[in-house]
Structure 1
Amino acid sequence: METPNNSCFQPSFFVLLGIPGLEHLHVWISVPFFSIFLSAVIGNFSVALIIVLETSLHQPMYIYFTVLAFVDLTLANFTIPKLLGIFWFQNNKIDFHVCLLQMFFVHAFSTIESGIFLAMAFDRYVAICNPLRYSVIVTTSVIIKSGALAVLRGVFYILPLPLLLRRFHLYTSNIILHSYCEHMAVVRLACADVSFNDHVGIAVGFMVLVMDSVLIMTSYVMILRALLRLTAEARLKSFGTCVSHVCAILCFYIPILCSSLVHRFGTNVPHHTHILLANVYLLAAPLMNPLVYGIRTKQIRERVITFFS
């Protein structure tokens, strides 16, 4: 239940409003959300299963695809089922500790996905700029270490966010104007000075969104320079292998960037627009990654056709 803003209390649960301002459209909005969620689950599971079962696809690039599919499945399943529960059954309540757990997994797996994209950019850089030493540099050990580093980085960056929130016992309200436990949406309800939490959130966002983007862009600038020195046929073949990765990166970073900009500076943007953008960035990558890699990658496309035929 909502409490007056001039009093503070210790909530045992939070209430998620879904998409505030569009409650009358929740049932209709649930249709595309459910369709996208179902497509994302089927697509990512299919791509991961085909790569695991097909021994000829046990190569560095496809191993990264599998990890990416697992991350996307986890990210979608920690948010969309609860969102659909709100839309269909008005199941708005979420336990305080479950809310913090959801917050951790949403932000941690988003950070891990960014780290995987960074590792894939390094993989493409070595494959194109130093192809003769590719098998020596990009070994199974390197893949395992880069994946472990992406996971550890995600945990290290995000774990302080819910831990810092645990020190707040009193809140002005237990109603979250969001569809999931987004960090700043919860922080704003705390009945205390939250400036430190805000600064930590900005620092994490900068390290993930800005630094990873800069490093990925740098790698692709170097890849582009290497492509210009190749023959037309080799350039076309190498360019094709990079297009899938670039498309997936754009599908991941553009919604996050738009959501972050609207959240920080869009004071005149309707609140439901911000919530919709925040949900789009959770669904865009899980939906597009299997489509991009499945359609653009010849080996996966052939296995999918063979599998279903």
Structure 2
Amino acid sequence: MDEESNATYLTFGGHVELHKYRYLYFMVVFTVYILIICSNSTILYLIWKHQDLHEPMYIFIAALLLNSVLFSTNIYPKLLIDFLSEKQIISHRACLVQFFMFYTLGFSEFLLLAVMAYDRYVSICKPLQYPTIMRRKTISILLALAWLVPACEVVGTTTLSSYQKLCSFTLNVIFCNNFIYRLFCVPSKAVTIYGAFGLVYLVVFPVFFIVFSYTRIFIICYHSSSEVKRKAAQTCVPHLLVLINYFILITYDVITVRLELDFPKIARLIMSLQLVLYHPLFNPIIYGLKMKEIYKHLKRLFFY
């Protein structure tokens, strides 16, 4: 590569023995990607088709699953191409686009989970006011904010990053994430402060809000009938499982770069794959099997 190419293209250096296992990697990841698209699309189709699923809770689930499909499509096609390529490279501009989509959709998941927590809180704690509060207009506004707010924040970080001079051109990961900060010749305080601010109000605040909402729900359910407790467990536990898992993974993604921690290459690869695998693959399983109404239509689709 000449100097101009070096200034334009970045190399992914996070693959482990790719020359030896490239076809195995390709088949496994291709299979996972197909499963993600098919499983998420199936639940989306059921929610769209059946009128009894046109309720706020299921609309928010559909938004979460759509977010998973977009998140996966941002990562998996490029990953599959890299497995079969001699050189695992990406243009600096394309890397910034992937970075932007990765964090926009990743942060959107936290906001969507917060919206779902609010919906469950109103449904269980204020059932008489639920139809008035969760109107169609309110749902539309909440969904729009869940996608637009992260996009507006991440576009700022991405723009600031695009103006930074690069002194290294190898990313020790398999897709573009905040490891791109390590390529800067001089660490950018503006990017760090802006990114930290975004992390607080797009991850920390939603997590606190979700924990607060579910704490209130469980306190009220503790003094309620067994039917209310069953409803709360059926709808809230899946949300909490998704939240805890995703929060752990996104925390790993942040601290490994911000604190400049060096993990073994194989450990970094495994954690990176978990970050883009768990939620897109398991969200439709959690919501498809744990949500009674969705599961009912799922059985009819495949077994009747």
TM-score, L = length of structure 2: 0.91
Q: Structure 1's 195 and 22: CA in aligned 2 closer, same or farther, altered over 3 A?
A: farther
Q: Which amino acid aligns with 2:62?
A: T
CA distance in 1, matches of 2:38, 2:245: 18
Q: Structure 1's 54 and 14: CA in aligned 2 closer, same or farther, altered over 3 A?
A: same
Once the two structures are overlaid, the 10-residue window that deviates more, 130-139 or 245-254, is: 245-254
Query: Which residue number corresponds to residue 177 of structure 2?
Result: 182
Query: Which residue number corresponds to residue 191 of structure 1?
Result: 185
Do 2:40 and 2:66's aligned partners in 1 also have CA atoms closer than 8 Å? Answer: yes
2:29 alignment partner, one of 23, 29, 33: 33
Q: CA shift at 1:22, angstroms?
A: 6.4
Query: Which residue number corresponds to residue 282 of structure 1?
Result: 276
Aligned residues: 303
- Corresponding position: 1:124 with 2:120: yes
Query: Which residue number corresponds to residue 204 of structure 1?
Result: 198
SS of structure 1 residue aligned to 2:90:
strand
Do 1:294 and 1:301's aligned partners in 2 also have CA atoms closer than 8 Å? Answer: yes
- Corresponding position: 1:77 with 2:91: no
Can you list the C-alpha shifts for 1:70-109, whole angstroms capped at 9, x where unaligned?
1100000111111122123345222221111111011101
Q: Structure 1's 9 and 51: CA in aligned 2 closer, same or farther, altered over 3 A?
A: closer
Q: Structure 1's 48 and 73: CA in aligned 2 closer, same or farther, altered over 3 A?
A: same
1:133-282 matches, cutoff 5 A: 133-168=129-164, 170-183=165-178, 185-265=179-259, 267=261, 269-282=263-276
TM-score, L = length of structure 1: 0.89
Q: CA shift at 1:263, angstroms?
A: 4.1
Query: Which residue number corresponds to residue 101 of structure 2?
Result: 105
SS of structure 2 residue aligned to 1:14:
strand
Do 1:22 and 1:272's aligned partners in 2 also have CA atoms closer than 8 Å? Answer: no
Query: Which residue number corresponds to residue 299 of structure 1?
Result: 293
Once the two structures are overlaid, the 10-residue window that deviates more, 92-101 or 255-264, is: 255-264
Q: Which amino acid aligns with 2:206?
A: D
Q: Structure 1's 25 and 265: CA in aligned 2 closer, same or farther, altered over 3 A?
A: farther
Once the two structures are overlaid, the 10-residue window that deviates more, 236-245 or 45-54, is: 236-245
Do 2:11 and 2:171's aligned partners in 1 also have CA atoms closer than 8 Å? Answer: yes
Q: Structure 1's 205 and 38: CA in aligned 2 closer, same or farther, altered over 3 A?
A: same
Do 2:64 and 2:112's aligned partners in 1 also have CA atoms closer than 8 Å? Answer: yes
Do 1:251 and 1:288's aligned partners in 2 also have CA atoms closer than 8 Å? Answer: no
CA distance in 1, matches of 2:163, 2:140: 35
Do 1:14 and 1:93's aligned partners in 2 also have CA atoms closer than 8 Å? Answer: yes
CA distance in 2, matches of 1:91, 1:290: 34
Q: Which amino acid aligns with 2:217?
A: I
Q: CA shift at 1:227, angstroms?
A: 0.5
- Corresponding position: 1:59 with 2:52: no
Q: Structure 1's 268 and 164: CA in aligned 2 closer, same or farther, altered over 3 A?
A: closer
Do 2:12 and 2:170's aligned partners in 1 also have CA atoms closer than 8 Å? Answer: yes
Root-mean-square deviation (Å): 2.3
Q: Which amino acid aligns with 2:247?
A: Y
Q: Structure 1's 297 and 90: CA in aligned 2 closer, same or farther, altered over 3 A?
A: farther
Q: Structure 1 regions of 5+ residues with no counterpart?
A: none
Do 2:114 and 2:206's aligned partners in 1 also have CA atoms closer than 8 Å? Answer: yes
SS of structure 1 residue aligned to 2:152:
helix
Q: Which amino acid aligns with 1:11?
A: A
Do 1:18 and 1:83's aligned partners in 2 also have CA atoms closer than 8 Å? Answer: no
Q: Structure 2 regions of 5+ residues with no counterpart?
A: none
